[in-house]
Structure 1
Amino acid sequence: MSPHEAGAARRRRGLRVYCAAVLAWTVSFMTALVLLPPGAHTIATAHADASSVTVAGPPVWIPATQTTGAKGSVTVSQTENLVDQMVHVSWTGFTPSTHGSFVVFGNSNGGNWNAVGYPVVVYECRGTDPKITDCYGGFHYGQDPTAGFQLPSESAGLQAPDFPSNVVAAVTRGDGTGSADIEMYTASQSPTMGCDATHQCSIVVEPNYGGDALGFSTEDGSADCTYHDGDTGLSGAATGAEYETVGASGFEDGEQCAWNQRTVVPVSFAPVPAACPASATDVAAEGMPMLDRALTQWVVGSCLAGVDPVTVQYSSDLTEPEARADFLQGRAGADVAFTSLPASPTAASARPYTYVPLGNTGIAIAFFVDDPKTHLPITSMKLNARLVAKLLTQSYDYENFVGAKSDTASVAGNPGCLFKDPEFIALNPTNNAFTWPTCAAQDGSEPIVAGGQSDLVRELTTWIMSDPDASAFLSGKPDQWGMHVDSFYKTSVYPYPIDSFVAQDASGPPVDPGTGLPYDPQGTHRDYNRLKGFEWNPIQAGLDAVARSLVLQTPTCILQNYEAPAGHAKCGPQNLGSRSLIAIMDSGRAAAFSFPTAALANGTGAYVTPTAPGMASAALDYVTDPKTGTQSLPWGVGHTGYAGDTAAYPLTVPNYAMAPTSGVSAAKATDIAEFLTAVTDSRSGQLPGNQPGQLAPGYVGVTPAQAQQAGAAIAKIRAGAAPGGAPTTVTATGPVTGQPATSGNVVVTPVTTTKNGTASVSYITSTIGSGDAGANGGTGSGGSGSSSKGAAGPAGSGGPTHSLSGSTAAAALGSVSADTAGFGRLILPILLIVGLVLVAAGPAALLLTTGAAGAKLRSLWPNSARRFGR
């Protein structure tokens, strides 16, 4: 064998050693993935919908030459598996609009709205080949389809008999492009349209390219859509989006020419709970409105499962505190309670239970804010905890104005609204690219929020209080620009965190701010001495009503002036192009309705929006309360994974199901376990998508630590249904004499496990506020991890924001501290280390089989030739 051939043989042997190492690493890694529970190696993220459709539009009208050109195009962002959500519609190659930059369909108040030439109208319509009488919110909706446009004025309520009108009017830019967002109503919102899984509907895009629809140019008053001489005049059909003018025929036929240019895009809808077969309910569940859009898909997927469906009756109108109370009392409608926070330790429980992680959601601050100069929407905004605190405490002086003779003492000297706050301006510079709104309207930027007790409010206000600047502001310390908290909200009289939003300030100027004189008891200003009470009114109808108010651009304020005999009317909707609205809701609704959302400051000072990557990153930073097994972000605690995570969205919260481990029938326990298994399975409930059974947009799936806990908890639920003895009950207990105890940053929690009457004690060790322990859900002895709801953090950290002795401990009477992970959690890290060693060994082996370096090393080891196969 030649030296060259011998060298090649040696290299091949070395390569085989390296390949063997890589193969061993691959096998090890894949084994880890197989051994981990479903979903442990996947984190659900949102993705673009694959059902987006682009179709040809009408030929463009060219006013300058009075001719038509090439066809335009229309794109609809999603056309399948629609629910009650917003859909983005865009177009290219359309005639640019003139004489204005925005329009509002059906609204000619507050300006010359109908002076916009060549607007575009977007409808949701019944069927895939709709007539004008099938389009919701149109002036002909619900009338005789055989009459075409020869229809009289519509009857009251005929345009939108079920729900508010969702028709949208928009403009086309100078380059021929434009867009609009339209809410798609299902049969639940509009029974008269009836759009559901078995009844398709359509999106109709209708450009108004002019023509004489009203018959002004014809002797018999019939439409002539080829006549364009009057397009830009006051009587021209291409002017305005309302089509209300009654033509010479005496009918409302002004839309006929525009309808001739329509583009129709058929759309289909996902099944809704009403599509489930009528049968006895297997599982009754309630709670966590923040989770309801995900639960709707899960519930429908469960009932439509082919082999052995589980029917779940879910009540989303009950908040988490109500659901936890019903569950602990064992009420019939609460077999399962959905929650973000754990139950109170002082509440008695009718049965043992466990917490099953289902995924994660976010608390979002959505907004509609328009540039007052261009009337275009502003799509980005940064807020920190102190700015959010200012909004929620009515601390802006909306009622003060230039030349005012009197001011409201509780907010005197403060900026007139968020957009004039120096802190907000410093955080959100415009760089002359756009302009923030003025403070002209009293409803300015007071947030639209849901009333009633909820975990959303508790989590949000806890986050606020974890911030040193926000906490100091609420205590009465002005910010560096001199703004102070509304005196009615100082924590000395109204301590944060809170469970529900309740307006505290109903004061006002002592005398008429316009004249400086005492109030006329019969005048329109008679109630100005309580102006602050008109500013802000939390909505009692829940998060759906919050989203609906934002969709309809309607603030929750009440008009200041008293108008006899009705009194004070509610504030009306703001006009598109001059909006200044902010609303607080969950990320599921924000995603479904495509609301712009504010970027919030996280533990590193980075500003992050509630996207899937941001929430997924934050979920990996959760720390675990050893008393309950529930997780949360360690707001305000240093030396944690969250404190160094620039990508984390700060208002990310976990979703749990409180489920019984005994005390229900075997059939009920099995149904609960089957439903939760499907929800937490990476192949179904954790798979992002719009189909029944999948994870809805706006949520992210369980982390590996959560998947481990979910698997153990579901196994315990199943064990409660198994024959052959009493179920296993796990209860977090206090310190045991002579056994390990809490010391410094180390918390040791004894856990008593009783099976068939025999008790044994094990210990969960957790590290709080030290290094990066627990950054990914915890890897301490017993696998619990550090806790944001535990003992004090390091000096100067501001301390924890959730107390172990507060509402985080497990309920009494044999209730369950959520199952903690054991050795299974260590499988992947161990195998990763082994794999890295093998990867390193491969190249090393190759190095030692050839070359001068290998020869020198082998000379130091007499048996190296034999050991390396030579």
Structure 2
Amino acid sequence: MTGRRARTVRRSRLATLVLGLLALAPLLAVPPAAGPAQGQDGAESAVTVNGRADGHEDFSGLRVTVSQTRDLTNQAVLVTWTGAEPTPRNRPVGVDYLQLMQCWGDPQAPGDPLGLAFRETCQFGLGLPQPAMAQGSDAPAGKNASRRRLDEIAGYPHPDPTETLPAAAQMVPFRSVDGGRTPDGSPQQPFGTKPNPNVPGGTMDQTDDDVLRAYFDEASTNEYPYALSAADGTGRVAFEVQNAARAPHLGCGAPAGAGPRRCHLVVVPRGSHDPYGGQDVATAGAVHGSPFSPAVWRHRIVVPLDFRAVGSACSLTQAERRTAGTELVAEAITSWQPALCAGSGPVIGYSAIGDFEAQNQVLSPSSGAPGLVFSAAPVAGTDPPLVHAPVAASGVVVAFNVDGNLDPYATAAEQERLRGAVLSELRLTPRLVAKLLTQSYRRDVPGIGGPTDNPNSIKYDKEFLDLNPVFRFWDQTPSATLNGLMTPVGNSMATRELWRWVLADPTARDWLAGSPDSQGPGKPGMVVNPAYQQLFAAGAVDYFPKADQSCAKESFQDVEYTNCTLDYRPYAGSLGEAALQTLRADSKGTAVPLQTINLPAGEQPRWTRIPRQEPGFRLAMSVTDSASAARYGLHTAQLCAAAPDATGTYVATDCRSATTAQMTAALGAMTPTDVPGVLAVDPAKVRAAAGAYPLTMVTYAIGNTAAPADDRRDYATLLRHAAGPGQIPGVAPGTLPEGYVPLPQAMREQTRTAADTLERATAPTTPPAADDPPAAPPGPVAGGAPTGVPVTPAPPSPGPVASSPVPTALPVAGTTTGSAVGILRFVLIGALVVGLFGGVAGPVLRRLAVRVPRDRP
């Protein structure tokens, strides 16, 4: 292949990506044989429902609790349970587990006493794989347990005597809220055909999975087919609930009659008895069949889910006050917006952009620029006068979603206890985080590149294994690994603070400069990927580099195709998207081999999608914020100091977590910046404060006193809410979402004072410029940066920046004057984010205006 041809292919792929990015309670009385256990509405949002004895199973000891059932958006709810039979870990999954799904239909509809029409409205059935269990048992797995199929099963009546579908139906169809319905596979409703990947130009019959993918697929579904119970009968699942913006075929929260459409969480417990004959199959058999089989479906537990309305929350005719800034405040703002506009209050719009671009915009004289922005970085200068007001405290975290995917032959009692369970503890050091962020594990480089003596994955790193010994027994298959530490696109203070924390640690700093670590006697030490070794000489940077330009290459029809870092380890579109993809354990990356068979006309070959890791197999981590992690029910890593003991084993000496107590402790250890009244946490110094989480950050609202009087009045209302009801933790509109910590009283008083100052300021007599730029400008200013840094709608710093001056105490209300200090570091970066096409442009520039509060896809 010629060089020109190769360049043409690469340019075509890049152009496609550019265009894609721009397109951007008690048990209710029920019929004794068929009705579900159902939660009642109550004063509290959390609901607990009991199972019951019915048929050949007794689930009366099972108590299932759903952490939140009202004011739901696209988020996770915690589903916990007690009183279950432990799931055996020494055989394939076939008995004693739970299955979870989201459904839009009416579970008590007249004419549907068995709920067989209701089951058609449930998002479930893609045949997701089982968790890996220990070897040595001849017991079978449950047949069709994760599907909608109605295959004949030996010893089971076919069809079920209560089944309402045709006898020849192959599956329980899915029915969409808009009336669409998949075929059931009977001669009257046959499946269609699809291209045969093994026969050029040939076709083959579709499967049940294929027809479901017209509505939901493996990358979008929230079904949870195998939820395992621990030895004490307890369990926990962070279950993703989806509103109509993310799952239009379910329509949850969309207008329906007098209010938003109610949906339901359905839990189907699986026992250990033949659902028809009653025989105990716990030892040598399994409970077969889809959860939609009538004999299994009868045990369902149904919990109502009430979503916030998807659509307008405030007046569409009232003037909107623009705000913009750091995503650290996004969850808080989207909670406060509907409360602020209630009763003809101010309509506050918000766009998530970088801290430095937010500073630039609040200084703009343009009439269309926002008069108030949010940033963790203060603005100092001379003109115009600015006010700084603390509004939210949260933290940067490494979130994780990890199941006990242990080697099938690991059989010790502790290993059996953890097999298939969701891990709640993970320890990381600054050096381990540095390794993850620099593509220094060989599997993080396309084509398995990088230094040849480095471990392939973090699960083989001695430092990580010493701090997290359960990984010594991890499944050793290549796919059972971390598909990179997911990081958000763009430039931010949050990112810079993470790098400051890494570089404040001598062992991490030395390692980044080229010093190897110790992987044990007789083994070469792990070294930093050379592509990153010079990036931190000047201090912390405010972006996550993708500096290794290695590419895996394949040729097809004399054309060379490349799979490079941004294909293989793409950026997440935002902190929130990083958290969501961690919940889904989906990096959205692509890898070899190149797919070339049966391509649609005019379509180029494409790389293989790295599959989403299913429940039981998940090993996913991301850099996100504490509010986004909480929104999606994620655990966060402990950040530890560690050192080798006399035997060379790494021992954690001091671990900090992003808990309310530890982030509050960090607020007490903040030190002054150069701007009066603005404090910051210095990661290098905060460790001296006992129990203080080092990546705690305070977001400040920065108001322009030269803004129009009506704007300043409404901004002041926002600040007073932020200092009052907005600091009360809760899930209702107007409260402080989980993942934030309430501000100390002194900071709240500072914000109230700033609100008064902003509202009462004297407006300038010189009119502002007439231009009207958007809150987040469409393009960056030219500059220079390392290759591989993606373009963002808000274009801040291009490359390495020295750490900020060490901040040195309690807040005081004050007015500062502003200038564009340190923010003329913009860059045009020619690398875009693979995987953002069609679905993630919104999170990159997340327009979270009140017209769609917290219901973004």
TM-score w.r.t. length of structure 1: 0.63
Alpha carbons 1:612, 1:700 under 8 Å: kept: yes
The one-letter code sitting in structure 2 at the alignment partner of 1:611 is T
Shift of 1:598: 0.2
Partner of 1:370: 403
For the pair 1:648 / 2:692, whether they are aligned, the reply is yes
Match of 1:537 among 570, 575, 578: 570
2:45 maps to which of 40, 47, 51: 51
Query: Structure 1 residues 419 and 92 mapped into 2: Cα distance closer, same or farther (>3 Å)?
Result: same
User: What letter corresponds to residue 99 of structure 2 in structure 1?
Assistant: V
Is the CA contact 1:287–1:319 (under 8 Å) kept in the aligned structure 2? yes
Structure 1 residues 150, 467: closer, same or farther in 2, change over 3 A?
closer
Name the CA distance, whole Å, in 2 between partners of 1:501 and 1:420. 24
Structure 1 residues 152-301: aligned runs within 5 Å = 155-157=211-213, 159-160=215-216, 164-173=220-229, 177-191=234-248, 192-195=250-253, 198-208=260-270, 226-227=276-277, 238-239=287-288, 241=290, 255-270=293-308, 274-301=312-339
Q: 1:238 to 1:531 in 2, by over 3 A?
A: same
CA deviation string 1:802-841 (max 9, x = no partner): xxxxxxx9633999xxxxxxxxxxxxxxxxxxxxxxxxxx
Provide the C-alpha distance between the structure 2 equivalents of 1:416 and 1:716, rounded to a whole number of angstroms.
57
Question: Deviation of residue 270 (structure 1)?
Answer: 4.2
Cα distance in 2 between the residues matched to 1:162 and 1:188: 18
Paired position in structure 2 for 1:311: 347
Q: Aligned ranges for residues 46-445 of structure 1 at < 5 Å?
A: 50-59=44-53, 68=58, 70=60, 72-94=62-84, 119-126=98-105, 129=108, 131-137=118-124, 139-142=173-176, 155-157=211-213, 159-160=215-216, 164-173=220-229, 177-191=234-248, 192-195=250-253, 198-208=260-270, 226-227=276-277, 238-239=287-288, 241=290, 255-270=293-308, 274-304=312-342, 306=343, 309-316=345-352, 318-331=353-366, 332=368, 334-343=370-379, 351-373=384-406, 374-398=419-443, 408=449, 410-430=450-470, 435-436=473-474, 438=476, 440-441=478-479, 444-445=482-483
Residues in 2 aligned to 1:769 and 1:455: alpha-carbon distance in whole angstroms: 15
Alignment partners' CA distance in 1, 2:445 and 2:330: 41
Contact 1:297 1:693 in 2 (8 A): yes
Seen in structure 2, the aligned counterparts of structure 1 residues 621 and 437 have a Cα distance that, compared at 3 Å, is farther
How far has the Cα of 1:645 moved from its partner? 1.5
Secondary structure of the structure 1 residue equivalent to 2:330 = helix
Deviation at 1:457, TM superposition (A): 1.4
Structure 1 residues 187 and 207: alpha-carbon distance in aligned structure 2, compared to 1, 3 A threshold: same
Going from structure 1 to structure 2, the CA distance change for 1:491 and 1:438 (only over 3 Å counts) comes to farther
User: Paired residue for 1:450?
Assistant: 488
SS of the residue corresponding to residue 569 of structure 1 reads: strand
Residue range with higher mean Cα deviation, 149-158 or 195-204: 149-158
TM-score normalised per structure 2: 0.64
Q: For residue 630 of structure 2, what is the aligned residue in structure 1?
A: 591
For residues 644 and 652 of structure 1, what CA distance do their matches in structure 2 show? Answer: 14
Q: Distance in 2 between matches of 1:147 and 1:575?
A: 26
- 1:382/1:598 contact within 8 Å kept: yes
Q: How does 1:457-472 map to 2 (within 5 A)?
A: 457-472=495-510
CA shift digits 1:699-748 (9 cap, x unpaired): 0122244224323321210221689999xxxxxxxxxxxxxxxxxxxxxx
Cα-Cα RMSD: 4.3
Relative contact order (C-alpha < 8 Å, sep 6+): which is higher? 2
User: Structure 1 residues 655, 157: CA separation in 2 closer, same or farther (over 3 Å shift)?
Assistant: same
SS of 1:583's equivalent in the other structure is strand
Instruction: Give the 3-state SS of the residue equivalent to 1:378 in structure 2.
Output: coil
Code of the residue aligned with 2:385 in structure 1: it is: P
Asked if 1:811 corresponds to 2:818, the answer is yes
Distance 1:260 1:705 in 2: 56
Specify whether residues 167 and 175 from structure 1 end up closer, same or farther in structure 2 by C-alpha distance, changes over 3 A only: same
How far 1:697 sits from its partner (Å)?
A: 0.6
Q: Distance in 1 between matches of 2:575 and 2:347?
A: 25
Q: What SS does the aligned partner of 1:690 have?
A: coil
**1:274-318 per-position Cα deviation (integer Å, ceiling 9, x unaligned):** 3223232341112212221111111111112x3x511111223x3
- Name the amino acid aligned to 2:222: N
State whether residues 445 and 581 of structure 1, in contact with CA within 8 Å, keep that contact through their aligned partners in structure 2.
yes
Secondary structure, aligned partner of 1:478: coil
Give the C-alpha shift of residue 268 in structure 1. 2.4
CA distances 1:377-415 after superposition (whole Å, capped 9, x unpaired): 3221111211111110011123899xxxx984x423122
Q: Secondary structure at the match of 1:193?
A: coil
Matched residues in 1 for 2:655 and 2:61: separation? 43
| Cα gap change, 1:400 to 1:475, in 2 (>3 Å) | closer
| Contact map agreement 2:226 2:616 (CA 8 A) in 1 | no
User: 5+ residue gaps in structure 1?
Assistant: 1-48, 104-114, 213-224, 244-253, 510-518, 727-767, 785-808, 816-870
Distance in 2 (CA, whole Å) between partners of 1:537 and 1:342 is 31
- Which residue of structure 2 lines up, in the alignment, with residue 580 of structure 1? 619
Equivalent residue for 1:694?
A: 735
Aligned pairs for 1:738-757 (under 5 A) are none
Counterpart amino acid of residue 435 in structure 2: K
Cα 1:68–1:685 change in 2 (3 A) is closer
- 1:486-524: CA deviation from partner (whole Å, max 9, x where unpaired): 111013687542222231112379xxxxxxxxx986699
Is the 1:370–1:436 Cα contact (8 Å) retained in structure 2? no
**1:122-160 deviation per Cα after TM superposition (whole angstroms, max 9, x unaligned):** 334345647223323465232899999988567454543
DSSP 3-state at the match of 1:561: strand
1:584 Cα offset (Å): 0.9
How far apart, CA to CA, are the structure 2 residues paired with 1:710 and 1:148? 55
> Residues 678 and 722 of structure 1: is their aligned pair in 2 closer, same or farther, counting only changes over 3 Å?
farther
1:677 corresponds to: 720
Partner of 1:35: none
CA distance in 2, matches of 1:69, 1:605: 45
What is the SS of the residue equivalent to 1:298? helix
With over 3 angstroms needed to count, the CA separation of the structure-2 counterparts of 1:165 and 1:680, relative to structure 1, is same
SS of 2:52's equivalent? strand
Shift of the alpha carbon at 1:425? 2.3
- Kindly provide the CA deviation profile for residues 78-135 of structure 1, in whole angstroms up to 9, marking residues without a partner as x: 22332322112234455665687787xxxxxxxxxxx567653333434564722332
Distance change in 2, residues 1:77/1:558 (3 Å): same
Residue identity opposite 2:362 in structure 1: F
Tell me the amino acid that sits aligned with residue 418 of structure 1. Answer: I
CA contact (8 A) 1:399 1:531 kept: no
Q: State percent identity of aligned pairs.
A: 25
Count of residues in correspondence between the two structures: 625
Task: Give the secondary-structure state (helix, strand or coil) at the position aligned to 2:398.
Answer: strand
Greater shift, 684-693 or 171-180, is seen at 171-180
The answer to whether the 8 Å contact 1:297/1:695 transfers is yes
Structure 2 residue runs of 5 or longer lacking an equivalent are 1-42, 110-117, 126-172, 192-207, 407-418, 520-524, 597-603, 643-651, 768-804, 823-857
Q: 1:286 to 1:769 in 2, by over 3 A?
A: closer
Q: Distance in 1 between matches of 2:821 and 2:656?
A: 41
